[in-house]
Amino acid sequence: MTIKVVTNPRYASGYLASGKVRVKGFDVEFVAPEPNPAAAFNEMMHKLAYDVVDLPLSNYLVARDLGKPLTAIPAFPTMFFPLLGPMVNRKAGIRGVDDLVGKRVGVSGFAFNPAVLVRSILFHYYDVPVEKIIWVDGEPNSMSGVPFPRSKRFTIESAGNLMQMLDEGRIDAVFMSDGGVAPTDLIDRLFADYRGELRRYLNSGGTFPMNSVVVIRDDVLKANPGLDRALTDAYDEAWTTYATDASAEGEHMGLGVGDLRTMGLFPPPLGFQANRKAIRFMIHACYEQGVIRTLFEPEELFVNIG
């Protein structure tokens, strides 16, 4: 049986997709998400369409809350600092986080992983009343049609192309993934000194969070004893190889590799225990914002591979 792993073939995952790092003992094929990551994630949420998926962590938490037969392994293909992602229209009068109150902010789905993380950081570390921001869902997105709860504490609207709306001033800001985009005459970063924000956040006890986690269908796990360990080992090897090969002048999800190395964040800590705090933070963020009803313990969501 060939086990298909759907993953974006970049960063550490590129070493697996290219065959440079192999999953020992199993016939595994790594395939890119088609036609795009959001569509593939949505297929997994609705139809459990794949054997193994590199899935945004918030999607996985919602899936488990809805009773989907999926289990994660402690492999995190992408780690990122979400405060790089918020971009603002320069004419919206947003000079700092407090200016987001009352504004219209676009997200690629209310339960979009970076959006959940940024809302939680804004609330816990900047004391921003996130319920007083109007959240505008860009459709379609990875959670389109997924029946996760939407709390009445939040105002949530639906829309189309978020970047076009930001350029036209119909929304005031957009929370993006992968470090946002380069500033232009029309749009700018909410956090101009994002390196300083990262250091302050970490110094205040914040975690460097994961963006995605490797998730396996339970029937595939049952039919392939040892797959969880083999995949985890392969991702760990891929991360180590990727981090060794990466140039200090390069970037990982919008941050300079050299800066990340200086801060002790590249490679990130591997394994469940090293990332438990970050996993727990994300669980609590989803629960506090009402997109899941179950306050899981991290151990409930991951295989125990010793």
Identify which of 46, 24, 1 has the alpha carbon closest to the alpha carbon of residue 226.
Answer: 24
Q: How confident is the model over 170-225, as pLDDT tens digits?
A: 999 999 987 788 899 999 999 999 889 988 998 998 888 889 999 999 999 999 99
Cα 74 to Cα 298: distance, rounded to the nearest angstrom = 11
Domain covering 82-203, topology? D-Maltodextrin-Binding Protein; domain 2 (3.40.190)
CATH superfamily, domain at 3-79+210-300: Periplasmic binding protein-like II (3.40.190.10)
Residues of the chain where predicted confidence (pLDDT) is lower than 70: 306
- Residue 54: what are its φ and ψ, rounded to 5°? -85, 95
> pTM to 2 decimals?
0.96
* C-alpha distance from residue 99 to each of 9, 69, 137, 195 (Å): 37, 42, 20, 21
Question: Domain ranges in the chain?
Answer: 3-79+210-300, 82-203
Q: How far apart are CA 273 and CA 179, in angstroms?
A: 26
Distances 21 to 3, 5, 16, 211 between C-alpha atoms, Å: 16, 14, 5, 22
User: Is the dihedral angle over the CA atoms 235, 111, 114, 272 positive or is it negative?
Assistant: negative
pLDDT tens per residue across span 220-236? 999 999 999 999 999 99
Please state the φ and ψ torsions of residue 28, each to the nearest 5 degrees. -120, 135
